[in-house]
Structure 1
């Protein structure tokens, strides 16, 4: 479960508006301290998930030029984010977006 989902469920079910104001730490820091943090940052994960969905759509709709263009934009956003996360050491330097990541 991702930090944003944890925050939403705490807000909706328990009435906790901000976890940081209660605990003094953000949700991701709490997860990292307990060794439960996700391997890939959340925003990058959801961009990869979106790219997979667009690729699947393009397999059945090959002439959809707008989706091809949007896939290029999504993948460029993935590359930009991965470059940032590599420079801040949140991703390993050897991490690459490609078919291995998608599978």
Structure 2
């Protein structure tokens, strides 16, 4: 599937390992991996950051092959899942940064256009989460809720 607002086709991707079992040289057990995931989540890391740390520092390529469940499901089971989905959070963070830039540079037409594109992605993603009946954006997802989320993200950035 291609990109939404650019010409790229998005073909490049990493290949998953053929074997779905953990490697024989990996000595860490599933409860230890879950404890590490919870420890990293309590430090405030996102699920993708946790996956990168586990891959680079602990040699765990796929958490699902070791524990049987994905990082986000483990976090949900322990009540440590992020309030806002990670992809939506990063889009909101980008929109807040563009708005901050536009406060200083009012005549920047390209940034105004890019802000419109980012906000349309945010609305599309919010509509997806609403359709999925996600606990993140259940109920009436509309502009006031997204404005509230933007405000929270902006406070985190400052």
Say whether the fold is shared (TM-score over 0.5): yes
What are the ranges of 5 or more consecutive residues in structure 1 without an aligned counterpart?
Answer: none
TM-score, normalisation: structure 2? 0.62
**Match 2:70 to one of 26, 46, 50:** 26
| 1:3 Cα deviation after fit | 0.8
Larger-Rg structure: 2
More helix by share: 1
Moved over 4 A (4+): none
What are the ranges of 5 or more consecutive residues in structure 2 without an aligned counterpart?
Answer: 1-44, 152-158
| 1:92 Cα deviation after fit | 1.6
Q: Which residue of 2 aligns with 1:93?
A: 139
| 1:70 Cα deviation after fit | 0.2
**1:6-85 pair list within 5 angstroms:** 6-85=50-129
Q: Which residue of 2 aligns with 1:2?
A: 46
Q: Which residue of 1 aligns with 2:4?
A: none
**Structure with more contact order per residue of length (Cα contacts < 8 Å, sep ≥ 6):** 1
Number of aligned pairs? Answer: 102
